[in-house]
Amino acid sequence: MQKLIWILWPSFVMAGIAEAVFFTLVDPQELYLFGEPVHMTPLATYSIGFFAFWALCAASSAFSCFLQRSAGAPRV
């Protein structure tokens, strides 16, 4: 559980920052997805964008957690 919080909480904060920076610079109506303009409502784009950022940041946190286990240490 502690690991899960370590992974999900910092990534949540970072996703919030990434979301704010990204969508300040980019209008969701001007985004292209697989070569097609995004047809979703702006609210949906913002929300999905947030979760995509969260997932990416969580992956990074998980990677860090994984690397923290030293190679010789017993598996937890």
Tokens 């920076």 belong to residue: 21
Q: Which is nearer to other proteins, 30 or 71 (CB)?
A: 30
42-68 and 2-25 helices cross at what angle (nearest 10)?
Answer: 140
Report residue 73: phi and psi, to 5°. Answer: -70, 150
- C-alpha 30/C-alpha 49 separation (Å) is 14
Q: Which is nearer to other proteins, 2 or 70 (CB)?
A: 2
Asked whether position 55 contacts other proteins by CB under 8 A, the answer is no
* Cβ 10 to other proteins shortest distance, Å: 9
Stretch that binds other proteins, among 39-47, 57-65, 66-74 (CB under 8 A): 39-47
- C-alpha 25/C-alpha 36 separation (Å) is 20
Which residues contact other proteins by CB under 8 A?
Answer: 1-2, 5, 9, 20, 23-25, 27, 41-44, 46-47
